[in-house]
Amino acid sequence: MVAHAGEKAQKAGVFHCAKCGEKVSVKEGAKIPKCPNGHTEFGSRTHEPGNK
């Protein structure tokens, strides 16, 4: 899975930055922000329980 900042999240979860590993929590349908270090590519997502 690869996602980029600015895209809408297809599912809620915690997106893991592909460059530095920082985590960004995003709700379903929300725009994915840049990671705290300014990177824009996310290599994986883990589910966040209770976040629908």
Tell me which residue of 18, 7, 9 sits closest to 44, measured CA to CA. Answer: 18
Q: What is the pLDDT of residue 48?
A: 64
Q: Quick: pLDDT tens for 11-50.
A: 999 999 999 999 999 999 999 999 999 999 999 999 865 5
Q: How many CB atoms lie within 10 A of CB 33?
A: 13
Which structural domain range is residue 32 located in?
3-46
- 52 in any annotated domain: no
- 18 in any annotated domain: yes
Q: What is the pLDDT of residue 50?
A: 55
Query: If DSSP codes are grouped into helix, strand and coil, which group holds residue 21?
Result: coil
- 33 in any annotated domain: yes
Query: pLDDT category, 1, cuts 50, 70, 90?
Result: confident
Q: Is the pTM of this model over 0.75?
A: yes
Q: What is the pLDDT of residue 14?
A: 97
- 51 in any annotated domain: no
